[in-house]
Amino acid sequence: MRFFSLPAGLRLVPAAFAFALIALPSLLHGQATTATPGTGSATTPAAAAPTPAAQAQPAGSQTHVAHEQDTPLIEKLKHTRPIDAEATLPTHYDLLRGAYGPFRANNDLLYYHLDIRVDPEKQFVSGKNTIRFKMLKDGTRIQLDLFDSLKIDKILLGETELKYVRDDGAVFVDFPETLHSGQVVTIEFYYSGHPEETGRFGGMTFKKDPAGRVWINTACEETGASMWWPDKDQWKDEVESMDISVAVPNGLMDVSNGKFIAKTDLGDGYTRWDWHVSYGINNYDVSLNIGDYVHFGEELAEPSGAKLAMDYYVLPEDLDKAKAQFSQAKGMIEAYQHYFGEYPFIKDGYKLIQAPYSGMEHQSAVTYGNLFKNGYMGVDWTHVGINSRFDFIIIHESGHEWFGNSITAQDMSDMWIHEGWTTYLETLYVEYRWGHDDALKYMGGLKPKVANLRPIVAERGVNAEPTEDQYFKGALMINTLRSVVGNDAKWWALLHDFYQHFKYQNIMTEDVVAWWNLHTGMNLTPIFDQYLRHAHIPQLELLFGEKPGMVMYKWDADEDAFAMPVKVGAPGKWETIHPTTKWQWMQTPLSKDDFQVATDLYYVDVNKQ
């Protein structure tokens, strides 16, 4: 996923931000500057953590003279995406892709069999997807999806060729007779063409590896799987199982999701590789990785006594480096199992597959391109001395097996359920390996990366991409929730039970909030809403001097009902207070300067007066 940073606490309204992004460098340096928003990649942290921004000019200042300390602010503004400041208006395509309309809602997916042939020389794909679904309402039409750049050869119901209407990536399939509620239907969708290279990783790319050999990969989370194969391209409905058959020229291997079943020489210069997925899988997780791979593997004993197959596929020249670096995978699985329970796709196994990009959480087939180095591309991207101890891509992308693949958001708008939770899993891995103090230190390294320019939860039903804050602010919110619960033994039990309750489900933010309210016995809705549905984080207002030995306090928050406990005072002698949005007071022997707030445990701003 993509990572960028802004100064902690920087608050710009969207319109002002759009102006600042373009104009600020020229205002400061007296020269024209073209803004270049960061392009990012699926797991591309910011390359560096700039130093704190320069102090604002005093009130009444007429000019601003540029100094060296201004550069970090300028660079952060230049490399923050405009979408993080203001959501884009949905297009006709977005409405068709994002809406769970009547011709999607009238059926429930059961099964796919994607059976294709890939021609590397012509950069051409052909084949079919067998789609089985159950009707939930009577109807004569369903909606599927395929990019207009790909040709529909035919769509069959048995021997009957079905009519269809194409509209900006949507394919409305019409049936000659009414399909009745409860009826199970199987169609075959034949297609062919040259997939467009589009999106952050190209969607489907035909490349060469460093030795000049064929290397073809897919990664299409935001672009949508329909850019390379026909499917019901949305997040709410998943098949219950899937088969993947990929024919490639002899000498090449395809590594896809699920369990390897067989390879078959087709006698025409091609070999078919067959894989079976035993669980529900979202469309963008379906993955091809075609190349001259070599394989090695190991097994991990699950708590249930079952054996988890762990398989690794890399380029031949990187085998020794991979054997050393991928040794972290087993410890990662053990850490996440400690908190959440058994690896969710044990029948399919776990794979790491070398790819020409940083990495992606393809279910049971995690792709890896982190140069076989710790940190992100060898860099401790949080700059607190922790990330250099582990391979960021292995830890983060594999964490999505629990949050993103096992538990999946129903709409891209609520993708913090994937990214906020998986970023929090990074800190759990650190805590499991090195303890709570290092986990808090790692968490603190996330704060400068939060922009707080618009809410995390995006507009629903319009294919809306959320802000990058879903990663870091999402994780910081979850860490805050731990402090609100205030009892670690209870917290660990809640974490485990929360995951187990929603395992293999597609959910929304409301489901998350309702569960935590029920199982903590607290009204946490205003807390979730403040962090997820508003741009600004809560600010604790502290007023000293009204009376000796007294401090007044309240929350400054968008949610009128916001009430969250917080620890204040001095480290080692913390005192828990319960502020609301109304003024309260407490006695304290501490001076204004000595009075502290436990901001490592709560993601809040503090304003002392």
Distance of CA 472 to the CA centre of its chain: 11
Average pLDDT of the segment spanning 11-16: 32
Per the domain annotation, does 361 fall within a domain? no
Expressed in percent and rounded to 5, the helix, strand and coil fractions of the chain are: 30, 30, 45
182, 213: one domain: yes
34, 115: one domain: no
Per the domain annotation, does 422 fall within a domain? yes
pLDDT in tens, 54-64: 333 333 333 22
pLDDT at 41 (0 to 100): 36
Share of the chain above pLDDT 70, in %: 86
pLDDT in tens, 207-217: 999 999 999 99
Per the domain annotation, does 349 fall within a domain? no
Confirm if 597 and 606 have CB atoms less than 8 A apart.
yes
266, 161: one domain: yes
* Position with higher pLDDT, 289 vs 37: 289
The CATH number of the domain where 593 resides is what? Answer: 2.60.40
Per the domain annotation, does 142 fall within a domain? yes
Is the pTM above the cut of 0.85?
yes
The CATH number of the domain where 228 resides is what? Answer: 2.60.40.1730
Which domain covers residue 39, as residue numbers?
A: 14-84
The closest of 206, 202, 229 to 127, measured between CA atoms, is 229
Which regions of 68-123 does DSSP assign to beta strands (E)?
A: 107-119
Per the domain annotation, does 522 fall within a domain? yes
pLDDT at 82 (0 to 100): 66
Confirm if 350 and 361 have CB atoms less than 8 A apart.
no
Per the domain annotation, does 152 fall within a domain? yes
Number of domains, the chain: 4
Question: Model confidence at 573, in pLDDT bands (50, 70, 90)?
Answer: very high
pLDDT in tens, 444-479: 999 999 999 999 999 999 999 999 999 999 999 999
- For 187-197, give one letter per residue: b (16+ CB within 10 A) or e: bbbbbebebbe
581, 472: one domain: no
* Position with higher pLDDT, 100 vs 1: 100
250, 143: one domain: yes
pLDDT in tens, 331-342: 999 999 999 999
484, 544: one domain: no
pLDDT in tens, 251-289: 999 999 999 999 999 999 999 999 999 999 999 999 999
Q: In what order do the strands lie in the sheet with 539-544?
A: 584-587, 550-556, 539-544, 605-608
**Residue 312 β-bridge partners:** 296, 352
Per the domain annotation, does 475 fall within a domain? yes
543, 524: one domain: no
pLDDT above 90 for 509:
yes
265, 116: one domain: yes
The CATH number of the domain where 426 resides is what? Answer: 1.10.390.10
Q: Which of 475, 508, 533 is the last residue of a domain?
A: 533
pLDDT in tens, 539-572: 999 999 877 899 999 999 999 999 999 999 999 9
Per the domain annotation, does 320 fall within a domain? no
Q: Which of 512, 533, 554 is the last residue of a domain?
A: 533
pLDDT at 225 (0 to 100): 97
What is the residue-averaged pLDDT of the chain? 88
Q: How many CB atoms lie within 10 A of CB 56?
A: 8
529, 575: one domain: no
157, 49: one domain: no
Confirm if 446 and 419 have CB atoms less than 8 A apart.
no
277, 129: one domain: yes
Q: What is the three-class DSSP state of 332? A: helix
Q: Which of 84, 117, 138 is the last residue of a domain?
A: 84
pLDDT at 21 (0 to 100): 29
Average pLDDT of the segment spanning 155-165: 98
543, 513: one domain: no
DSSP string, 334-384: HHHHHHH-S-TTTTT-EEEEE-SSSEE--TT-EEE-STT-SBBTTB-TT-S
Question: Which is it for strands 253-254 and 307-314: parallel, antiparallel or unpaired?
Answer: unpaired
pLDDT at 303 (0 to 100): 82
pLDDT above 50 for 72:
no
